[in-house]
Amino acid sequence: MKFGKTIILLLFIVSCSPIYVNYDYDKQTNFTNYKTYNYYRDMQTGLSELDTKRLLDALDDKMEAKGYKLSNTPDFFIDIKSNEFQAAQRETVGVGVGGGGRNVGGGISIGLPIGQNNINRQIIIDFVDESKKQLFWQAISESGFNPRATPEKREARFTEIVEKVFTKYPPKQ
């Protein structure tokens, strides 16, 4: 019985794919100068129209919580790009056969994949100061993606991603 509970717990932990985020920013930027934002009109997010709306809603909520205002004459623009890719299969089971005796040996090993291939999504969020024509902050998130998720789960996932992305914004100088 303990073995069964351990397997279920392990599967639960593995199924919750983490969100990884890498940050980069211009060290010369004074982030207190920025109070208003908007999105590029011709932004090609790489997401479906509904997923784009979910992501922008989550971003707007987070930006408002951080004290930023959406404006027609913004201090900076936000650009979003994304792509999906199939993650390498990492979980395998090794099956081996071997033999030996009297200084003779041999063996065969095979790695069998477990489960299905995972789909990951990378989302790149750029903050661009148009007056200076330069990128001043960037976050690249990578996380698991389920193309068959319900709208509620998709919305929750985008909210999780935005929360994780903004844990280090603005950067401590």
- Whether 71 shows a pLDDT value over 60: the answer reads yes
With respect to residue 142, please indicate whether it lies within any of the assigned structural domains. yes
In tens, the pLDDT along 156-170 reads 999 999 999 999 898
d(CA 57, CA 51): 10
With respect to residue 78, please indicate whether it lies within any of the assigned structural domains. yes
- Whether 75 shows a pLDDT value over 60: the answer reads yes
With respect to residue 98, please indicate whether it lies within any of the assigned structural domains. no
Query: What is the structure's pLDDT at 88?
Result: 60
With respect to residue 162, please indicate whether it lies within any of the assigned structural domains. yes
Q: Is the peptide bond before 170 cis (omega within 30 degrees of 0)?
A: yes
With respect to residue 41, please indicate whether it lies within any of the assigned structural domains. yes
Query: What is the structure's pLDDT at 117?
Result: 59
Per-residue DSSP letters for 64-122?
HHTT-EE-SS-SEEEEEEEEEEEPPP--EEEEEEEEEETTEEEEEEEEEE-S---EEEE
Under 8 Å between Cβ of 145 and 120:
yes
For residue 71, give the CATH number of its domain. Answer: 3.30.160.670
Comparing 34 with 91, which gets the higher pLDDT? 34
3-class DSSP state of 164: helix
Average pLDDT over residues 29-47: 95
Total number of domains constituting the chain: 1
With respect to residue 105, please indicate whether it lies within any of the assigned structural domains. no
With respect to residue 33, please indicate whether it lies within any of the assigned structural domains. yes
With respect to residue 111, please indicate whether it lies within any of the assigned structural domains. no
Q: List the domain range (segments joined by +) for residue 166.
A: 17-86+119-173
